[in-house]
């Protein structure tokens, strides 16, 4: 029939297929192809011609390699367990009881997570390292405390760095437990303790597992923390980095093998998390919120003290780095009490170039991410139909791809041939673009799902074509999602070390690479200054976006009150 034919051709010519096509094409070239290159390199036999699993046999049989895998898995499990155990009571008390400075605590607890991970690691080294401030303090008292480092050191720093993510996720979980369930349990005579273990925790189990999986991926993909704290304790990321940088010249077989194994682990976790999330989510039936009660004074003081301890640990890195940047340094030994501006004077001009580089790279990739991410988010919610679930899962792929693997893959895939990225800024932009694309897609689609589709239809109905409607109406409606997505993409790109350190061209040294280099050169004074610039680059945008969104919320609630 004439009409059906036309409807068919309309589908193919649909402009909304363009972003989907761009997504598939760019992921095929810049994500799947690099992954393929890494896997292929891991399977090259000694003579370089046939496919073999020699490298894997070597990996599992030689303890130098298998030790790294063992450490990675053990750190992942113990770190995740430590964080969850620490965070369950914290999040529970935080959602049930009013403590002193409740809102402030909620904000400050985020800080370690927003601090680039290796900066946190570095400050713990300043405090508890071999020449650390606190180590020295006790040494002068005649008490020898173990310096941070090795396996225990990495584990501690992982927990101190990544617990905020667990905390935030579990607060969400405990807040959505249906209060009437808890009341029912109470009503049936269960004690507080019993109620917590029989009702609250089981109801929050899906969220707790979800948080665990996300934290696990974060830990095993981390490069900065083990590289700085864990000298002598290899993990997969540091092993891959070491192997790759020393193997330059020949095919990086062992680096590729390690990266492939890491990819296998994090992909399995990501798939587990997605399958699990989709199957099980206990949506609370009630619309009531959990009531935050004001506990008796003694209890309130005890709880507040508990949070105060956590706060101190959250703020310590920042305070330390600020003080260190003004302190006379002799290599890694900081002479506390001796004030100086030398580090700023000496480092300032050296910082400008990497600062500019980081901003240019992060901004370029953010613009790409926002453009494609908003369109993809729109397609998933509005146009996807059957494809939506698939596109949604596909665009989340980078979350399971370790930074070291993508780095190696980009170098292997694009050093010669039709597309050459190695040696130019584009390799970093591509890496950031691919790795951060899931952020704007998620934030935009989350907001768009709340937006009444009729508003866009009204615009079309009034004579504005669909694409123009997207630009005039939809983008306005999803602006908060674009802002948060952009913020996430930008800040995580600026603070990326894992992938950047493998692929940065000499002229495009970033702030993170500069900081890392200073730390590794044991120049703790200048390292602190560069670190502060890095910290400010991340914190200031977050602060500004928060301020704007708070002001807008206040405006909205004022309008509501007027009526």
* Binding residues vs another protein (CB under 8 A): 1, 3-4, 6-7, 10, 452, 454-455, 457-466, 469, 473, 476-477, 556, 559-560, 562-563
Nearest distance from residue 454's CB to another protein, in Å? 4
Nearest distance from residue 14's CB to another protein, in Å? 11
Which helix (H) or strand (E) segment is 509 a member of? Answer: none
415 vs 461, which CB is nearer to another protein?
Answer: 461
Cβ count near 138 (within 10 Å): 13
Q: Report the Cα 458 to chain-centroid distance in Å.
A: 38
Cβ count near 409 (within 10 Å): 29
Mention every residue, 6+ apart, whose C-beta is less than 8 A from residue 140: none
Nearest distance from residue 550's CB to another protein, in Å? 18
Nearest distance from residue 542's CB to another protein, in Å? 24
- To 10 degrees, what angle do helices 425-436 and 438-448 make? 40
Cβ count near 457 (within 10 Å): 13
The residue count of the chain comes to 563
Nearest distance from residue 501's CB to another protein, in Å? 43
200 vs 484, which CB is nearer to another protein?
Answer: 484
150 vs 466, which CB is nearer to another protein?
Answer: 466
Nearest distance from residue 452's CB to another protein, in Å? 5
Q: What is the DSSP letter of 340?
A: -
Structure tokens, 516? 């890392």
- 511 contacts 494 by C-beta, under 8 angstroms: yes
458 vs 540, which CB is nearer to another protein?
Answer: 458
Pairing of strands 333-339, 327-330: antiparallel
Nearest distance from residue 6's CB to another protein, in Å? 7
For residues 542 and 536, give the distance between their C-alpha atoms in angstroms, rounded to a whole number: 10
Alpha helix ranges (H) inside 196-295: 201-221, 224-229, 236-247, 253-279
Nearest distance from residue 90's CB to another protein, in Å? 37
11 vs 416, which CB is nearer to another protein?
Answer: 11
102 vs 468, which CB is nearer to another protein?
Answer: 468
For residues 446 and 261, give the distance between their C-alpha atoms in angstroms, rounded to a whole number: 33
Which helix (H) or strand (E) segment is 64 a member of? Answer: helix 63-96
11 vs 279, which CB is nearer to another protein?
Answer: 11
Nearest distance from residue 292's CB to another protein, in Å? 28
Counting DSSP H helices and E strands in the chain, the numbers are 29, 2
- 516 contacts 423 by C-beta, under 8 angstroms: no
506 vs 559, which CB is nearer to another protein?
Answer: 559
Write out the DSSP string of 113-125: HHS-HHHHHHHHH
Nearest distance from residue 286's CB to another protein, in Å? 24
101 vs 465, which CB is nearer to another protein?
Answer: 465
457 vs 522, which CB is nearer to another protein?
Answer: 457
Long-range contacts formed by 534-537: CB under 8 A, 24+ apart: 534/116, 534/119, 534/494, 534/495, 535/115, 535/116, 535/119, 535/318, 535/321, 537/355, 537/358, 537/359, 537/491, 537/494, 537/495, 537/511
């Amino acid at each position: 029939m004439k009409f059906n034919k036309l409807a068919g051709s309309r589908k193919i010519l649909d402009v909304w297929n363009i972003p989907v096509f761009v997504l598939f094409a760019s992921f095929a070239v810049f994500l799947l192809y690099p992954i393929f290159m890494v896997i292929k390199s891991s399977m090259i036999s000694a003579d370089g011609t046939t496919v073999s699993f020699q490298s894997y046999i070597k990996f599992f049989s030689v303890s130098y390699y298998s030790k790294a895998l063992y450490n990675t898995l053990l750190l992942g499990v113990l770190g995740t367990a430590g964080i969850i155990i620490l965070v369950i009571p914290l999040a529970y008390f935080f959602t049930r009881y009013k403590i002193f400075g409740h809102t402030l605590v909620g904000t400050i607890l985020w800080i370690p997570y927003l601090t680039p991970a290796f900066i946190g690691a570095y400050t713990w080294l300043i405090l508890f390292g071999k020449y650390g401030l606190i180590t020295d303090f006790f040494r002068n008292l005649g008490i020898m405390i173990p310096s941070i480092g090795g396996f225990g050191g990495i584990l501690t720093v992982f927990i101190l760095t990544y617990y905020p993510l667990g905390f935030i996720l579990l607060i969400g979980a405990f807040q959505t437990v249906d209060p009437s369930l808890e009341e029912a349990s109470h009503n049936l005579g269960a004690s507080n303790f019993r109620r917590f273990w029989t009702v609250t925790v089981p109801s929050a189990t899906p969220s707790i597992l979800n948080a665990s999986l996300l934290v696990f991926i974060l830990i095993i993909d981390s490069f900065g923390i083990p590289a700085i704290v864990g000298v002598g304790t290899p993990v997969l990321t540091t092993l891959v980095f070491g192997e790759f940088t020393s193997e330059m010249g020949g095919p990086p077989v062992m680096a590729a093998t390690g990266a492939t194994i890491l990819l296998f682990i994090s992909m399995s976790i990501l798939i587990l998390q997605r399958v699990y999330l989709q199957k099980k989510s206990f949506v609370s039936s009630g619309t009531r919120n959990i009531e935050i009660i004001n506990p008796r004074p003694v209890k309130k003081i005890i709880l507040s003290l508990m949070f105060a301890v956590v706060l101190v640990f959250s703020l310590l890195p920042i305070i330390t780095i600020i003080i260190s940047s003004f302190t006379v340094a002799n290599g890694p030994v900081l002479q506390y009490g001796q004030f100086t501006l030398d580090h700023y004077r000496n480092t300032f001009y050296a910082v400008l170039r990497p600062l500019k580089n980081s901003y240019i790279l992060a901004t370029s990739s953010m613009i790409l991410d926002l453009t494609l991410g908003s369109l993809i988010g729109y397609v998933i919610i509005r146009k996807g139909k059957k494809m939506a679930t698939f596109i949604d899962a596909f665009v989340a792929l980078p979350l399971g791809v370790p930074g070291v693997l993508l780095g190696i893959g980009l170098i292997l895939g694009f050093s010669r041939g039709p597309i050459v990225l190695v040696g130019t800024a584009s390799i970093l932009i591509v890496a950031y673009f691919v790795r951060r694309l899931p952020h704007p897609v998620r934030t935009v689609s989350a907001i768009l799902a709340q937006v009444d589709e009729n508003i866009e239809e009204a615009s079309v109905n009034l004579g504005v074509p669909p694409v123009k409607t997207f630009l005039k109406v939809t983008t306005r409606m999803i602006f908060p999602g674009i802002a948060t997505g952009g913020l996430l993409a930008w800040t995580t790109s600026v603070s990326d070390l894992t992938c950047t350190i493998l692929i940065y061209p000499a002229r495009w040294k970033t702030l993170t690479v500069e900081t890392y280099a200073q730390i590794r050169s044991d120049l703790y004074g200048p390292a602190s200054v560069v670190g502060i610039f890095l910290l400010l680059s991340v914190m200031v945008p977050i602060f500004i976006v928060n301020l704007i969104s708070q002001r807008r919320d206040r405006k909205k609630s004022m309008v509501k009150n007027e009526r």
